[in-house]
Amino acid sequence: MISMECDQPRPIPRKPTTLVAAFLYLVLALSACASFSWVFPTYYDQTTYKNLTDLKAEILFLYDTFASDSIDEAKIAAARLKLAQVYEYEKGKGEKNRDTREQLELLQQIFERHVSDRVKGGKWTPAHLRNQKTNLAEAFDLAIATERVKNKNE
């Protein structure tokens, strides 16, 4: 005779395919969220930070040549191109990135004013070179700080 009493509840059998399906669903859901990162860009951008710090050094080294008799038009053109590329990158991130974009606009204006000063006024004196480099470095530092503030890890 079979006993109708149950000493212990019987576990519900789970098929491995159910667990696999749940895992795949979770992976798919998480990857779908990650795929929208182009729609909702992260606020802090390590690429921007690197672009700004690299560009600062490049342009400050270029300014050292402004104390010599000749102007290196190719280096000036390369700096203009890089400034434009970084600006377009920042502009493409949308309105949430307005602060960094505006800082880059100011950097471009300062750079163009300094180049014009060098072309029209001739080679820079050591004191003028020091002043212009200080002005540009401070403007870059402000742009870099603007980006660094966005880093929530700090």
Q: What is the DSSP letter of 115?
A: H
Q: Supply the pLDDT for residue 95.
A: 86
Kindly report the number of other CB atoms within 10 A of residue 147's CB atom: 24
For the segment 63-102, what is each residue's pLDDT rounded down to a tens digit?
999 999 899 999 999 999 999 999 999 999 888 888 889 9
Amino acid identity, position 36: F
The gap between the terminal CA atoms of the chain, to the nearest Å, is 72
Look-up of token digits 């204006």:
109
Residue 91 burial (CB < 10 Å; 0-12/13-18/19+)? middle
For the segment 30-62, what is each residue's pLDDT rounded down to a tens digit?
555 544 444 444 466 789 999 999 999 999 999
Q: Assign 3 to helix, strand or coil.
A: coil
Distance CA 46, CA 151 (A): 9
Distance CA 116, CA 7 (A): 93
Look-up of token digits 């493409």:
92
Distance CA 103, CA 110 (A): 11
Handedness of CA 143, 150, 91, 102 (dihedral sign): negative
Taking the model in full, what pTM does it have?
Answer: 0.69
